[in-house]
Amino acid sequence: MKLRSSKQNESVVVTGGLVQIGSVGKEASAAGGVSAQTLVDSSAAEGGRESGLSRRGFLKILGSAPVVGAVGCSDSTKQKAYPNVFGQNDQVPGVSLWYSSTCTECSAGCGITVRTREGRAVKVEGNRENPLNRGGLCALGQSSLQALYDPDRIRQPLVKSVDATGKEVFQPISWGSALKALRSAVEFAKGETLLISGEQSGAIQSLTKDFVATLGGERVVYDPLQAVEVARASELVYGEYGIPRYSFENADVVLNFGADFLETFSSPVEYARGWADGRRKKTPTVVIHVEPRLSLTGANADKWLSAKPGTESHIALYLLKYLVEKGRGTNLADDVLKGIRALAKGSSMEQVARTTGVSEANLLVVAERLSEAKSTLVLSGGAVGRGEDGVQLATLVALLNLVLGNVGKTVDISKMRKPESNLSALSSGVDGLRDGKFKLLLVANGTNPAFALPAEYGFSYAVRDARVKQLKALSEGPASAGDPPFMVSFSSVLDETAKLADMILPSHHSLEDWGDLEVVSGARSLVQPVMRPVFDTRSFGEVLLGIARDAKLSLSTAGGAETYAAYVKNRWRKFYEARNEGAHGENGESELSSAGGFEMWWRSCLERGGEFSNFNQNTRVKVSVAQSALSGVTLPEVKTAKKGQLILYPYFSVKSFDGRAANRPWLQEM
C-alpha cells in the first residue's frame, strides 16, 4: 500500500507493519491503489528536519495504517449479481414466482407448486388444488430439484465411437446431426422398431402410441414399481383391469398384506393422508400389517404379523372361509358365494398357523376384527404381492373385499389406475431383439431395463447380439460409415441401459417440459416448464414430432401441432370442447364460452395445475366375477430355507425407490 507524501517525489509504503520511504514516479498513486490526503507532515515545526520524517509523523502513520488498509480493501460501490432474466416478462429479480405443475418422479401424479427466483427453481411443494395429494409431497418429490440440477445429467447429445485404443467412448454431437441420424434410422427400420418406455400418461402416452403405430412397430412398457398383479386380480374379480383407489379414512379396520402405502405403493402421499385422517377419528382406524419385514408401514401399524415369505395367501384364504361361515357375503350372487365356499373349504386355522408361523390367537384376533367392524379395507402389494403367488393373493384380497361389502365404500373401482407395465411383453421384446426381429431400439427416459431386469432375461446380451447382426447385414450391402444407429436412448443420465446405446438424446427434466397426466379418472393435471433448460436437452415429445414431420409420418393425434407444447394445448382444447357441449345458459349461449372462452379456461387450468371439477363425481360400476377367480386359485408350495440358506426379500424404499434416486444427497440423509 502506498501513501502519497507532501513532496511529489516521496511516498510512504506500508507493508506488514513496516514503513519505508523512497522516491516514486508519477505513477505511484495509480500503482498504490489508494489516493489519500497527506498523512506525513515534514514541516520544520514538527521535526526541524527539512526533508525527513518527524517522530510525531511516524506515530501518525503507525496509528493510521490499519484504518487506511481497511479503507483500501473495501469497495465503496455495493454490487449484487443476478442471473440474466432478460426476455422473461414474468420474472422480477428478488421476487419469488410460483408455478403449478405435476410431479413425475413416480406414477402417483401428485400436484406440485414450484417456487422460482431469478429464473431458477428453488423449492417444490405440494399443490392443494390437486385432489390426489391435497398439498402433501413425499421426499422423492421434494428431491426432484436435485435431479434437475444433477451434475451427472447428460448435457448434450452423445454418439458412441471407438478411440485409438479400441475402446468404446461417447463423443458429443450436435442436435442437428443427432436428429438427422435418428431420422435415417427410423426410415431404415420402419415397422421393425421396438420402443421401450416407463409408465406413461396423457399427451406423451398418446403421442408415443401414435408414433409407434404409424411406424408399424411395437411399444413395450415396463415399470417395476407397478402393482400389475393387483390390476389383473381386479379384472378377474371386479370385471375391470386396474388398481382400485382405497379410502383409508373411511375404514375402521385395515388389513394390509405387504402394501407399503406410506412409502412406495400406488399413491403414497394420498394414502398417508387418508391413514392420518383415519387416525384422527373419534374411533381411530386400526391397521393390521402382514409382512415378513418391518417396513415403515408395518412399524406404524397397530399390529404387525410377521408371516413366512410366500405364505400370505394361506392367511387370506382362511379369513375368507371364516367370514363366510359367520354369515358375511350374503349380498353376493348365489353362484359366487357357492364358489367362495368351495374355494376355502379345505383351509383350517391349525394348518395355516403351522404354515405361516402366525399364532392361532393372532389369526383369530384378525378374523374377529374383520367380522365385527362396520367398515373395513383389505389390500395387498409391495414385495409380498410381487411373488409367484402375487395374482392369487390379490384375487383372494379382492374376494375378501366383496364378502365384506367394501366395494363402493372403501374400495373405489370407478377411479382405477391402469398400469401398462408388462413384464411378459418385455420378455418377448428381448427375444425379438435376440432373433433379429428389430432394426431399431428406442428407449425412452424413465426406464432402465438393463438394471431392473434379472440377468436371466439377457437384455444386455440381446442388444449386443442384435447390433452385431444388423452390422453384419449392412456390411453385406451398400452400407457405409454413416449407417443408422441401432439403439437410441433418451435417458437424461448415463445409466446401465444408456451405456448400451449407440446414441443418446438427453430429455428435458419435467420441470423444463410440457405435458399432462390423468392417472385417475377426473384428475387431469398439467405439467409446465418452470424454467429454461439447464443443459442442451430436448423434450422427448418434441423429438418425436420433429422426426415424424421430417420422415413424413402422418400422426393422427398431431392435429397440425409443430411443437410439443402446441400438441398438449390441442389436447386440452378438445377437452374444453367436450365439456362445452351441452353446457348452455338460459339464453342458449355456452356457459364456458361466456366465461372467456378456451384461452381463459386454459390459463385458469395452468394456474390451478389442472382440471379437477369432475373428480368427486361417482360412477356406478357393475361387478362381474369371473369363474377363473373362484376356480383358478391354488395355494403355492411353501418354500423354507434350509440350514445355512437365506431367503432374498427385495423391497422398494422411499429413499431410492427402484434405484432411480439413489444419488440424491437429500434422500441419502434420511
| Cα–Cα dist 218/223, whole Å | 17
Same domain, 455 and 518: no
- Helix 423-434 / helix 459-475 crossing angle, nearest 10 deg: 30
Could you give the number of structural domains in the chain? 4
What's residue 65's pLDDT?
59
Same domain, 239 and 325: yes
On whether both 364 and 282 belong to a single domain, the answer is yes
Collect all residues with Cβ–Cβ distance below 8 Å to 165 and sequence separation of at least 6.
Answer: none
Look at residues 519, 530, 514, 533 and name the one whose alpha carbon lies nearest to residue 571: 514
Q: What is the CA radius of gyration of the chain?
A: 34
Q: Are residues 473 and 444 in the same domain?
A: yes
Give the three cell numbers for residue 610. 389442472
Distance CA 334, CA 110 (A): 41
Verify that 440 and 545 share a domain, yes or no.
no
The amino acid at 274: G
Residue 78 lies inside a defined structural domain of this protein: no
Percent share of the chain, pLDDT over 70: 82
Mean pLDDT of the chain: 85
- Tell me whether residue 643 is in a domain: no
156 pLDDT higher than 70: yes
Same domain, 294 and 405: yes
Q: Is the pTM of this model over 0.85?
A: no
Helix (H) or strand (E) holding 120: strand 120-126
Asked if residue 660 belongs to a domain, the reply is: no
What CATH number did the domain enclosing 101 receive?
A: 2.20.25.90
More confident of the two residues 9 and 258: 258
Q: Which domain holds residue 62?
A: 2-73
Residue 289, domain member (yes or no): yes
Residue 115 confidence (pLDDT): 97
Question: Last residue of some domain: 358, 391, 418?
Answer: 418
Q: Which of 504, 538, 571 is the last residue of a domain?
A: 504
Query: What's 153's DSSP letter?
Result: B
Is 349 in the same domain as 392? yes
Residue 186 burial (CB < 10 Å; 0-12/13-18/19+)?
A: buried
- The CATH number assigned to the domain holding 373 equals 3.40.228.10
From 563, 592, 611, give the residue that closes a domain: 611
Q: Decide if pLDDT at 82 tops 90.
A: no
Residue 11 above 70 pLDDT? no
Contact 512, 542 (CB under 8 A): no
Q: Is there a domain that residue 532 lies in?
A: yes
Q: What pLDDT is stored for residue 636 in this prediction? A: 66
CATH number at residue 470: 3.40.50.740
Least confident of 48-52, 391-395, 634-638: 48-52
Q: What is the mean pLDDT of residues 98-124?
A: 96
Question: Would 447 be classed as within a structural domain?
Answer: yes
Q: What is the pLDDT of residues 157-195, one digit of tens each?
A: 999 998 888 888 999 999 999 999 999 999 999 899 999
- One domain for residues 244 and 388: yes
Q: Could you give the dihedral angle defined by the CA atoms of residues 588, 592, 598 and 603, in that order, rounded to the nearest 10 degrees?
A: 160
**Residues 477, 567 within the same domain:** no
Whether residue 403 sits in one domain with residue 378: yes
Cβ contact 144:138 at 8 Å? no
Work out the burial of residue 416: count CB atoms within 10 Å of its CB; fewer than 13 is exposed, 13-18 middle, 19 or more buried: buried
Asked, for residue 91, whether it belongs to a domain, the answer is no
Pair (489, 604) in one structural domain? no
Question: What are 348-363's pLDDT values in tens digits?
Answer: 999 999 999 999 999 9
**pLDDT of 563 over the 80 cut:** yes
Predicted pLDDT of residue 579:
84
pLDDT tens, position by position, 218-250:
999 999 999 999 999 999 999 999 999 999 999
The H-or-E segment that residue 278 falls in is helix 268-279
Position 632 in a domain: no
Question: Is 24 in the same domain as 164?
Answer: no
